[in-house]
């Protein structure tokens, strides 16, 4: 399986996402924001960082990048798309997932190993989980506060589009403790925490078993690979 | 050259952390006559040529689709001003 990772000017975690794809057993394909070509990849990842300096709004200018028209088309065809942190902001700005992001409620950049609950194990990126699983994934952002109007919130809660919810601490003031959402079809998922940073023992969050041993992020990639292999 | 000015504000019902931080600073300075501050954005778009209705309509559309995000912001005004050409 070939999974594309799009690099934008200001992307930071594109290499980490490629590495996570490789660790999970698929082939990473480097894609470029300025191209109109997804190189026939089977899934797409929009990585974290500060694309285009996050000027205007986080992810806003990136959502108008040339390759985004291909991403929108692919998402419409059911190709799995994962937006991580800045990539989640791009998905929201491109209206591929509901809601939007504002500055964290406490006005500070935050970095922590974040506990979340998997609220929907039926999306393209969560089938390796069970609904209700509690996982720990690193997060780091300044504009991570998920917001949507009351009607949208009620709709996405009802449709199972809330995929991840923060546990213990709401790190940024996100409404309903929402950490990640999907589109209605479930092939497009965005979340603020970084699963690619929890895929290799020794480089992940601490667990009760050992320091830096958390690999809960691996299942995101295994989910999409598993669905491809059995398809 | 004509300049089209677009002003965008965070939606009234949303928390504006930047405005809140400034309001907090005002209170610490003893300026207690102010109850809140909200911070928005002003875009000055310099036009190469004349502003007609079609161009203004295009900027209004850009204001809604690009300069603002309707989930969190409102376009509060789109106006045309004239400025002296810069040297």
A54, A57, A68, A172: which to substitute to probe chain B, counting the most B Cβ within 10 Å? A57
Interface confidence (ipTM) of the complex: 0.85
Mutate to test the interface with B, among A58, A95, A102, A144 (most CBs of B within 10 A): A102
Catalytic residue among A119, A194, A197, A200: A194
What would the pLDDT profile of A163-186 be if each residue is shown by its tens digit? 999 999 999 999 999 999 999 999
Average of pLDDT values for A186-213? 95
CA atoms within 13 A on the CB side of A74: 23
Q: Convert the pLDDT of each residue in B43-56 to its tens digit.
A: 999 999 999 999 99
- What domains does chain B contain, in order, with CATH numbers? 2-82 (3.30.1280.10)
Put simply, whether A108 touches B (Cβ < 8 Å) is no
pLDDT in tens, B52-76: 999 999 999 999 999 999 999 999 9
pTM given for the model: 0.93
Interface of B with A in 20-79 (CB under 8 A): 20-21, 66-67, 69, 71-72
Q: Which of A92, A93, A105 is the closest to B15 by Cβ?
A: A105
pLDDT over 80 (residue A231): no
**Is A194 noted as a catalytic residue in this protein?**
yes
- Alpha helices (runs of H) in chain B, residue ranges in sequence order: 17-28, 53-62
For residue A201, the 8-state DSSP code is T
Q: Which CATH number fits domain A2-230: 3.40.190.10, 3.30.413.10, 3.40.50.880, 3.20.19.10?
A: 3.40.50.880
Q: Does A133 score more than 60 pLDDT?
A: yes
Rounded CA-CA distance A52/A65 in Å is 10
Q: Where are the domains of chain A?
A: 2-230
**Contact by Cβ (8 Å): B47, B2:** yes
Residue A107 pLDDT level (bands cut at 50, 70, 90): confident
CA–CA dist A132, A89 (Å, integer):
25
Q: What angle separates helix A218-230 from helix A14-24, to the nearest 10 degrees?
A: 50
């Amino acid at each position: 399986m070939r999974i594309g990772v799009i690099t934008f000017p200001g992307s930071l975690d594109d290499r980490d996402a490629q590495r996570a794809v490789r660790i999970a057993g698929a082939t990473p394909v480097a894609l470029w924001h300025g191209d109109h070509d997804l190189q026939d990849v089977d899934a797409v990842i929009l990585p974290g960082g500060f694309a285009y300096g996050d000027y205007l709004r986080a992810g806003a200018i990136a959502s108008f990048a040339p390759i985004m028209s291909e991403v929108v088309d692919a998402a419409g065809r059911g190709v799995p798309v994962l937006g991580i942190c800045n990539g989640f902001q791009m998905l929201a700005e491109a209206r591929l997932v509901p809601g939007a992001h504002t500055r964290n409620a406490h006005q500070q950049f935050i970095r922590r190993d974040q506990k979340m609950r998997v609220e929907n194990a039926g999306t393209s990126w969560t089938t390796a989980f069970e609904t209700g699983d509690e996982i720990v994934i690193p997060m780091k952002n300044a504009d991570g506060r998920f917001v949507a109007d009351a009607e949208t919130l009620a709709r996405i809660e009802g449709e199972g589009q809330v995929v991840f919810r923060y546990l213990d601490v709401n790190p940024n003031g996100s409404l309903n403790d929402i950490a990640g959402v999907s589109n209605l079809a479930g092939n497009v998922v965005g979340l603020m925490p970084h699963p690619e940073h929890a895929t290799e023992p020794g480089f992940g969050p601490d667990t009760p078993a050992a320091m830096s041993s958390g690999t809960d992020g691996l299942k995101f990639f295994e989910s999409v690979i598993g669905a491809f292999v059995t398809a | 050259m004509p300049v089209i000015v677009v002003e965008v504000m965070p939606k009234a019902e949303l928390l504006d952390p930047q405005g809140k931080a400034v309001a907090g600073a005002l209170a610490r300075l003893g300026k207690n006559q102010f109850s809140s501050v909200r911070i928005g954005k002003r875009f000055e778009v310099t036009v190469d040529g004349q502003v007609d209705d079609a161009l203004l309509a295009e900027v209004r559309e850009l204001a809604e689709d690009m300069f603002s995000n309707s989930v969190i912001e409102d376009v509060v005004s789109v106006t045309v001003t004239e400025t002296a050409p810069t040297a």
